[in-house]
Structure 1
Amino acid sequence: MTLALTEIQEHIRSAAAERAPVQLLGSGSKSFYGEVPQGLPLRISDFASLRGISSYEPSELVVTVKAGTPLAELEQVLAEQNQHLAFEPPRFGGQGTVGGMVASGLSGPARASMGALREHVLGITLLNGQAEALNFGGTVMKNVAGYDVSRLIAGSMGILGVILEVSLKVLPLPVAEATLRFEQSQAHALNQLNRWGGLPLPINASAWWDGALLLRLSGAQAAVDAARQSLGGELIAPELAQPFWLGLRDQSDEFFQAAQRAVQGGAALWRLSLPQTAPALDKLHGEQLLEWGGAQRWLTTAMPAAQVREAAAQAGGHASLFRATDKSAGVFAPLPPPLLRIHRELKKSFDPQGIFNPGRLYAGL
């Protein structure tokens, strides 16, 4: 890593001296996400010494991997040991990198049961805006007590520094899985999910779209079999169920393909984060897909941003503009002044000259 690190440090020092914006990139697979990128690109995946697995201890359920490593490459190594990234990060056509995965902070269908990406980040090595290499956290859970900076970096959209290396918690692949399908309205599905959430059921993921609720059961064979008998529903064959969950994870299934076409026609794809107990949002017009027991709701609509955000706020949550050609309304939900002040102080501490991905998260950051 030494040669690449030195080169990147020189790049950062030069940019900081000139206050020149630097656009931090992995492979660029998530360039659509967040505000419009600014600055000269610095593509971490172009540096061969910033790719590869630094250490992997399957018995300890920990892997340390360099930021430019393709996510598909990491997952292949984990699969050889019957392990995986339980939060199922989206791979967007297989082009995503580990650093981009952490910077975006996105998690897949199993997030509600297995935790978000940030909960699986144990440690990070980061270059700040003064080209200093900083180490946070470690490779065991007890090392992430106190000020948990490692998880702060997750979802920061690259505004705080250059991610060089990440230590992640990994988990064994489940022994058994089964997918059940139920024909239900959105309101009925939400009621069912809330009721099932209070029961000891091995529900690993859920998705509702177009009048159908799908549940993925995961765990010990006996637990999965017992839940199947208890819940009923139509058992979906594995050769059909697996492509569905993969398509949902990678946002390549029918709903997201239609959403991308709608975005090209002037609509927007919104990501709503709500309490799981929130009811169906009947005021919102457009196609909806629900995940995470109802806590994450995707909405394709041409409705004004203010109406979407108001509906989300009334339900106790917030809305982010995930894909759109017009981002003038702001991508992420506006922050209250005290929280915005904290964000600004963090940005100033890590990146005093404000060169990293300026404005990618919020204006002025």
Structure 2
Amino acid sequence: MDAILDQFRARIQAASADGTPLLLRGGGTKDWYGQHVAGDVFDTRAYTGVLDYEPTELVLTARCGTPLAEIEALLAQNGQMLAFEPPRFGAASTIGGVVASGLSGPRRAAAGALRDFVLGAQLMDGRGELLSFGGQVMKNVAGYDVSRLLAGSLGTLGLITQVSLKVLPMPLREATIRFEMDEITALRNMNEWAGQPLPISATCWQGGVLSVRLSGAQAAVKAALQRLGGDPLANGDTFWAGLRDQQRDFFAGPGQLWRLSVPSAASALVLRGEQLIEWGGAQRWLRVERGVAEDIRRVVAAAGGHATRYRGAHGEGAFHPLQPAVARIHERLKAAFDPAGIFNRGRMY
């Protein structure tokens, strides 16, 4: 594998020297995410393999091109999982792309986001230098946590060559229940339940129906079922897998799909279109035939959040505009890691 790294380094150095933009890509399952990117495709899949996995330590280290499916199968053999439930978007998805995209699934509100599980990473910067950040332990030294900074960077800072992730045991039991209720009632209940000792691992409201997943010990799930009531959903695993991988009809519909991030306690957002609400109210998806970005972002900002044009309008303005101070931090980081500006040019801002 050292020879592959040498090839990566030579290509990056050559691209930096002549200013050729590079489009970093693993399986290409998230090419649609973000803004339009121009550049020569830089395929990372040759650098593959799990480097270290010790189930008793709850830590796994893998190279960037390792298929996500391979990692999840290995963890499942030991009754463990990636608790942030990354969307898979197909069998070609790689762990490098998972970290670079920074996306988390239905369990995020209960278990934490992807970046919370990144313990360490290696990055090849625009000079071809291999930099190491963090480690393989569940503590980080004081200072700037660059390994977690890479989560969601969309490959704009450099090539993530390997990552170390914290993993967790699978729950002993899971059950899904459903309630018919309007949006306001669902938001109120989700926030009230979040403050109670209930083993809620995921929530989803759409079209007047609130679905709740309970995960944990047998006794805890049984007690929660008796306390909350609701109608049991027999195919709960299929429902949450479809939500996690965004294969439900809601995500495949026509028009634009917006991802809205707001405080969980925010009230209903008055916006045209159909909504799907996750994470106890903190993540809300908006499906609109035609969306005026300024109007959507104004409503979401008034609720204390931000809006991402997720699908259906691949181009400029996908992400919520940054405040000037934050934009300057982005620019300094980009200049430090990628001085020639070759990596995924323009994908974020």
- TM-score per shorter chain, which class? over 0.9
Residue type of the partner of 2:284?
R
Query: What's the counterpart of residue 343 of structure 1?
Result: 330
* Aligned residue among 163, 167, 172 for 1:166: 163
Structure 1 residue ranges, 4+ long, deviating more than 4 angstroms after superposition:
none
The CA distance in 1 between the partners of 2:42 and 2:260, in whole Å, is: 31
Give yes or no for the alignment of 1:203 onto 2:200.
Answer: yes
Displacement of 1:326 after TM fit?
Answer: 5.2
Match of 2:307 in 1: 319
Contact 1:312–1:319 (CA<8 Å) still a contact in 2? yes
Label 1:38 to 1:144 Cα distance change in 2 as closer, same or farther (>3 A).
Answer: farther
CA deviations on 1:134-181 (whole Å, 9 max, x unpaired) are: 000000122354211000000001000001110000000000111010
- 2:277 matched residue in structure 1: 290
When residues 248 and 144 of structure 1 are mapped into structure 2, their CA distance, relative to the original with a 3 A threshold, is farther
Indicate yes or no: 2:186 matched with 1:189.
Answer: yes
What is the root-mean-square deviation in Å for CA atoms of aligned residues?
0.9
Alignment of 1:231-242 (within 5 A): 231-237=228-234, 240-242=235-237
Contact 1:123 1:144 in 2 (8 A): no
The equivalent residue for 1:257 is 252
Q: 1:158 to 1:144 in 2, by over 3 A?
A: farther
**How many positions carry a matched residue from both structures?**
348
147, 151, 165: which one pairs with 1:150?
Answer: 147
The separation in 2 between residues aligned to 1:55 and 1:38, in whole angstroms, is 35
Q: Which position in structure 2 is the counterpart of 1:300?
A: 287
**Contact (CA 8 Å) 1:138, 1:144: kept in 2 or not?**
no
2:173 is the alignment partner of 1:176: yes
In 2, Cα distance between the equivalents of 1:38 and 1:97? 21
Deviation of 1:303 after TM superposition, in Å, equals 2.5
**1:241 & 1:107 partners in 2: Cα distance?**
19
Whole-angstrom distance in 2 between the partners of 1:100 and 1:193: 31
- Gap runs ≥5 in structure 1: none
Q: Is the 8 A contact 1:122 1:144 kept in 2?
A: no
Find the residue that maps to 2:214 and give its secondary structure. Answer: strand
In 1, distance between residues paired with 2:314 and 2:319?
13
Match of 1:244 in 2: 239
Match in the other structure for 1:33: 33
Q: For the Cα contact (< 8 Å) 1:183–1:213, is it kept in 2?
A: yes
| TM-score between the two structures when normalised by the length of structure 2 | 0.98
Cα distance in 1 between the residues matched to 2:342 and 2:87? 27
- CA distance, structure 2, for counterparts of residue 186 and residue 96 of structure 1: 34
Q: Are 2:35 and 2:314, in contact at CA under 8 Å, matched by a contact in 1?
A: no
| Residue in 1 that maps onto 2:2 | 2
**Shift of residue 287, structure 1, vs aligned partner:** 1.1
- Which runs of 5 or more structure 2 residues have no equivalent in the other structure? none
Shift of 1:257: 2.0
Greater percentage in helix: 1
Q: Are the structure 2 counterparts of residues 56 and 145 from structure 1 closer, same or farther at C-alpha, using a change threshold of 3 Å?
A: farther
Q: Percent identity?
A: 55
State how 1:77-92 maps to structure 2 within 5 Å: 77-92=74-89
Secondary structure of the residue that 2:119 maps to in structure 1? strand
Query: 5 Å matches for 1:5-20?
Result: 5-20=5-20
